[in-house]
Structure 1
Amino acid sequence: MESASSHGDRTPPQLNSYLKNTQFKNRAGDQVFVDENRRPEAQYALMNYVFLNKDADILRNVPSAVCSDSCQAGFRKSPLEGKAPCCFNCSPCSEGEISSQMDTEQCKKCPEDEYPHEQRDRCLPKTVTFLGVKETWGKALAFVAVLFSFLTLLVLWVFVKFQDTPIVQANNRNLSYLLLTSLSSCFLCSLLFLGRPTAASCLLRQTIFAVVFTVAVSSILAKTIIVVLAFRVTGPGSRMRMFLHPRVPYCVVLICSGIQGLLCAIWLGTHPPFPEADTRSESRHIILTCNEGSTFAFYCVLGYMGFLALGSFTIAFLARNLPNAFNETKFITFSMLVFCSVWVSFLPTYQSSKGKAVMIVEIFSILASSAGLLGCIFIPKCYVILLTSWENIPNQINTQRGSRSRKFSFS
């Protein structure tokens, strides 16, 4: 009696010989030959024979497809047109998608707080970031803001120290003090845009800057109006003389700033700014920033400041040929030109920026426009006060001003 082992040894060759003459059609309708020499459309292998229990019964395994190799993680199966289902290509997952298992037919996107690994086989958590004071851009902007704020206070000290000189008195020294104080505050307001955004900082950063900067622009508008009126009023009976009252410039500043404050109050009462996590600007970072709440309100606030600046520019430009002793309008014209240029450039740049670049652009615009006002209006006066004191002689200035102008002192 033959053993089970010897019986099993003879059975596979017999089975193999039998299968070589076998042919059939698969589910796709293709004719399949098992004989390797006839090169079937789909190749099959006879494998994994096992012996069952002590009676040595043989379990025949079903042939398995080997047309295409399995797709690894990070790839997806792409069917080949006109081929059997077991034939496919392995295509890498698209940008931003992953596949974590073998033979995946569809890749999937990572959650918003995660990003794909370089091999696109898993998702990794994004890093939370914001424009902080400790990073390079934050340090640079903070340093410039504090430096210019200190420089503005230094100019204010010069004006206070030489407050009785003609050049300070001739240009309404009290308005100059208010303008310098507001400019110093404008520089410091830019610091509110640095650091981790909170509900409080998002509410304050735009509104405080808008009101403080409006005070500065309103002061320039008031200075321009008063200078022009002082030269345009003729005769004792002129109706325009009522506008030369010492309180008029402060009323201009108060009304203009009050309107801006009302706009900000409506903004905060309807659609106030709030903290937001930006997950789309950078693929590997979650950027904490402030959502403006109402874009319309934001541009209304900026547009109102632009309207005041344009008014100051127009009045100063029309009065640019006034006598030299009062000719602050030339400096105001140039300063408003710088201001408008900065903010006109800001709008398209702000719209096209993403992530931290939005805050950097806004801080830079605040610093550049404030520095333009400081440099164009006050640096020439400081030059005359400190370096050319012989041009700041009371008799010489008063002679140029004339008796009529001396009657209207707004210091």
Structure 2
Amino acid sequence: MHDIRAIRENPAAFDAALSRRGAQPMSAQVLAVDEARRGKILAAETAQAEQNRASKEVGAAKAAGNEAEFERLRALVAQKKADIARLNEEAAQEDARLRDLLLTIPNLPLADVPDGADEEGNVELRRWGTPRALPFPAKEHYEIPAAQAGLDFATAAKLSGSRFVVLKGAITRLHRALAQFMLDTHVNEHGLTEMWTPVLVRDDAMLGTGQLPKFAEDSYQTTNGWWLIPTSEVTLTNTVAGEILDWETLPIRMTAHTQCFRSEAGSAGRDTAGMLRQHQFEKVEMVSITTPEQSAEEHERMTACAEAILQKLGLPYRVMVLCTGDMGFGATRTHDLEVWLPGQDTYREISSVSVCGAFQARRMNARFRPEGGKPDFVHTLNGSGLAVGRCLIAVLENGQQEDGSVDLPAVLHPYLGGKTRITAEGVLA
């Protein structure tokens, strides 16, 4: 959410930043509601002062025996009391209007974010690894014989419908090993604190990280009002909601492995084959809570943490900085990690690492107390470290062999009981 004071002070800059995202100017609409709200507050304060003055004069009129003046003043006091109640209610309504309006406006891009309308405007920062030259036609993950026995889309469709999968045997174990490897790396090497959080949350948690109100249709809600989380960014970030943290405790760095749920309402018809885009999936998420001065450096550190996972797995990837038209709603700068998928002959997103500035913190009222200073809003950051299912796809496709088997990354061997490959029959060996 945005700071209304910043919009008042420089509405032109606010609109210019929004226009970089392809959004319409909003300052005039915002400031009109703000002016109406402030007008009601001023009127209520004026009426309160008039009531106070009349209340003092009532006694004097009574003591002087001026019955007419006494009755007039008493009626005035009653009228002002009613006016104050009405004006306060109207001010509260305008305040709610202002908050609701601000909640729909996306975050503003940092100055160094490249301009662009869509993903075509994203800029490559760097690459790591060289895609393996296969001496045979590359298959997509669901076409590889080693994986076919472990990817059961038919049973999943019978149970739940499209965009679900049942994992079996060696594929299930590989999927579990990937998540465990990611967590161990983040905890033991990157210094993140492992968390375990609910997957059902209240409205306030979804609102705090920006999923509500704008993206309600992209999430699932239970009949009794809970929301299924689209990522543990929601729960991890909201652990500091309503708090005033001591500056010495920052940065706070967390990670969690959870089930995630997305309706994919905005992606109908995209990536329907295989398990690239699912309604239910798993992610190892990273979240950092920092001071404003720490957030830029922390963004680079978190990006490096996600890159380290891919490097250990030997998966070629590239790092992209998203342009203004492709960034998420709450982000002020985003790095996407795109892993090489031989079966698609292209790079596909496997992690987004974003800095949100004070945007989420203002929605959550999450603050810190600087040394010797007044409380200020923290900065929040989040990133996948990584999407487990997409990592599974990348391991299968990059490790595929001509005989239909899959060679597995050495770093996973200890998690698989020393097994190094999945045979064409779908057995760990």
Instruction: Using structure 1 for the length normalisation, give the TM-score.
Output: 0.26
Instruction: Kindly indicate whether structure 1 or structure 2 has the higher relative contact order, using CA contacts under 8 Å at least 6 residues apart.
Output: 2
Q: Rg larger in 1 or in 2?
A: 1
User: Structure 1 or 2: larger strand share?
Assistant: 2
Instruction: Using structure 2 for the length normalisation, give the TM-score.
Output: 0.25
